[in-house]
Amino acid sequence: MPTKDEDLNEAIRALGQLFLAKLPAKFLEIETAIQRFQSTPEDRENFSLLHRSLHTMAGSAGTFGFPEMGEQARILETQLKNYVAGEVWSQSARDAFCDQVRNYLTVARQRAVETSSSIAGTSDFNAEQDISAVSMAPPVKKIVYLVDASEEVKHEITQQLEQFTFFVESFSCLQDLETALQKQIPAVLIIDTDFDSVHLAGTNEVMRLRMTGYALPPTIFISDTNSFDSRLHAVRAGGQAFLLKPVDILVLTERIEEILAHNYPRRYRIMIIDDDTELAQYYSEILKRAGMITEVLNDPELVLEQMASFRPELILMDVYMPNCDGVELSKVIRQDPSYLDIPIIFLSSENDLEKQIAAVKVGADDFLNKPIEPELWISSLSSRAERYRALRSLVMRDGLTGLYNHTAIKEDLIAKMSSASRDVTSVSVAMLDLDNFKKVNDTYGHQIGDQVLRTLSHLLRQRLRKSDVVGRYGGEEFVVIFPNTTAEVARLVLEKIRIAFNKILHVAEQAEFSVGFSAGVADSRQTTNPDDLLVIADAALYRAKHAGKNQVVLGVQ
């Protein structure tokens, strides 16, 4: 006779198969909505139907193993929101948007066909596989339109941005931009304010396109003129950034990433503690649909062990549990200094005010009463988790690069190796060191040296998986942790990053220059001790330096 857990897994698997079976109907619904939207745009019900269809796909596709399908639907939904909010689109802009949706459907249908058999035939299909798929997904090249009359400017920006996984299409005249927008809306538009030496020509063209009805992407203006007038017109044209030439590529890439990040949900790590398995799984599914990562714990006795490996940003628990109630469990958690600041939220049907106050007194941060509307519940958890993340970042992050600091990266390595040991998987660690960095500081100054450090840190974040972790170990030395990865694979990944970094030109007053790095890689097959693993990787780094630098070497025990 199947257990409750087996029933739950089967139910989740069945939901996945049901979603897959309904995909053709969902695609048809979007296709019908786009036809109505294109033929009779004056009918508000038509674009409401299209928006609702895209919104539904954006919220559900990722949950059942189609993260890219969900993300693309979310991008289209965001564009349509501007139209729903009153933005005026021309007929050509509507047609271009409709073509984007049809292209999306073509790719989505093919993706569904390719993966249907594997998802339908996997007996242990569950929501956690979806989280893994998202975190392990390789970086996707994002399309950027670059409009500038100068071939030199276009070449320099294009060459540099391509090292950060952007695909750049450049245009030399404003008319070409309008033609391109009719075919495809890019992720970001970069345009010169004073196009072809005509003051505010680029800014005025963007304003004209918006007034004509084009659904323009986030826009970054670049300019030779640092005047209030130029900056004001850029703001009025809807610009989200204004950068002076010569453009600092690192600043440009960081601004692009910040802009694009607003299109995606913040993936907070939430631990759910409840002895009611089905109810805990229900909470988990709701939070995952809101873009969060969850860990369900039904046995309170395992809380410290699970927290060490999962590292939650918020704990959600019921007040009443057998053997150890929520109040007692809060005290146990708060005994560990590492968890003094982690938010603890009680979700319970308990209406007794005195008991609620007692729960808060022992260290809980909030008490939410059941039943509660999911939107209010998610909003409350998100605000608490965001505050914790921000405060934690101040303690754990390096101020210059934004990466984990020395202490934090070592703690993460311990947690990753502990998890790998339980799951019988490999975790790799790499030690990176910039080559001839003292010479860079001595020749170009420490400010330029800091720029080099930030560039490497940004490139590592761009090129690595979301599940990989990067830290600044000290000075010009970095550590990268690769979960579920052998040293051989990690070395190949770092080789590609090394080549890309070596192509990036750093700009100083005296000249343009490039920098390389050396690295050593080891993995947990060589040792299960985190400190020893770092020693092996460091020894490999030492060999790379003495073998000529600018190379990646495997560690030997």
| Domain CATH for 307 | 3.40.50.2300
- Give the tokens for residue 270: 């939430």
Q: What is the pLDDT of residue 395?
A: 73
Q: What is the pLDDT of residue 482?
A: 93
- Give the tokens for residue 486: 């052998």
CA 157 to chain centre: 24
Tell me which of 96, 125, 154 is where a domain ends: 125
End-to-end Cα, the chain, rounded Å: 49
85 and 162 both lie in a single domain: no
Q: What is the pLDDT of residue 126?
A: 38
SS3 per residue for 176-232: HHHHHHHHCCCCEEEEECCHHHCCCHHHHHHHHHHHHCCCCCCEEEEECCCCHHHHH
252 and 154 both lie in a single domain: yes
CA distances to 120, 377, 381 from 284, rounded to whole Å, are 22, 12, 13
> Residue 467 belongs to a domain with what CATH number?
3.30.70.270
381 and 440 both lie in a single domain: no
Domain of residue 365, residue span: 284-393
137: in domain: no
354 and 453 both lie in a single domain: no
381 and 244 both lie in a single domain: no
Q: What is the pLDDT of residue 55?
A: 63
Tell me which of 93, 125, 157 is where a domain ends: 125
User: How many Cβ atoms sit within 10 Å of the Cβ of residue 316?
Assistant: 25
100 and 150 both lie in a single domain: no
Instruction: Give the DSSP H/E element, type plus range, for residue 74.
Output: helix 67-84
173: in domain: yes
> Residue 30 belongs to a domain with what CATH number?
1.20.120.160
136: in domain: no
168: in domain: yes
Instruction: Give the DSSP H/E element, type plus range, for residue 476.
Output: none
Instruction: Give the DSSP H/E element, type plus range, for residue 452.
Output: helix 446-463
What span, in angstroms and rounded, lies between the C-alpha atoms of 40 and 536? 66
What span, in angstroms and rounded, lies between the C-alpha atoms of 240 and 218? 6
247 and 299 both lie in a single domain: no
On whether the CB atoms of residues 230 and 244 are closer than 8 A, the answer is no
412 and 387 both lie in a single domain: no
18 and 116 both lie in a single domain: yes
417 and 548 both lie in a single domain: yes
Ordered per-residue pLDDT tens for the chain, 557 residues: 444 344 444 545 555 565 677 778 778 888 888 888 777 766 666 666 777 677 667 655 654 567 778 778 878 877 777 776 667 777 777 788 888 888 888 888 877 776 554 444 443 333 333 323 323 333 334 889 999 999 989 988 998 888 887 889 999 989 899 888 888 888 899 999 998 788 999 999 999 998 888 888 899 999 999 999 999 999 999 999 999 998 888 888 888 887 876 655 568 899 998 877 767 777 788 788 778 889 998 888 888 888 887 889 999 887 767 677 778 888 888 888 878 888 888 876 555 666 666 666 666 677 776 656 677 778 888 888 888 877 776 777 888 888 888 988 898 888 888 877 776 678 999 999 999 999 999 999 999 999 899 999 989 988 888 888 999 998 999 999 998 888 999 999 999 999 999 998 888 887 889 999 999 999 999 988 999 999 999 999 999 999 999 999 998 86
544: in domain: yes
What span, in angstroms and rounded, lies between the C-alpha atoms of 67 and 65? 6
What's the pTM value of the predicted model, to 2 decimals?
0.51
37: in domain: yes
DSSP, collapsed to helix, strand or coil, labels residue 428 as: strand
Count structural domains, the chain.
4
182 and 110 both lie in a single domain: no
On whether the CB atoms of residues 221 and 242 are closer than 8 A, the answer is yes
135: in domain: no
121 and 146 both lie in a single domain: no
Q: What is the pLDDT of residue 476?
A: 92
Number of H helices, E strands in the chain: 20, 17
274: in domain: no
Tell me which of 208, 226, 261 is where a domain ends: 261
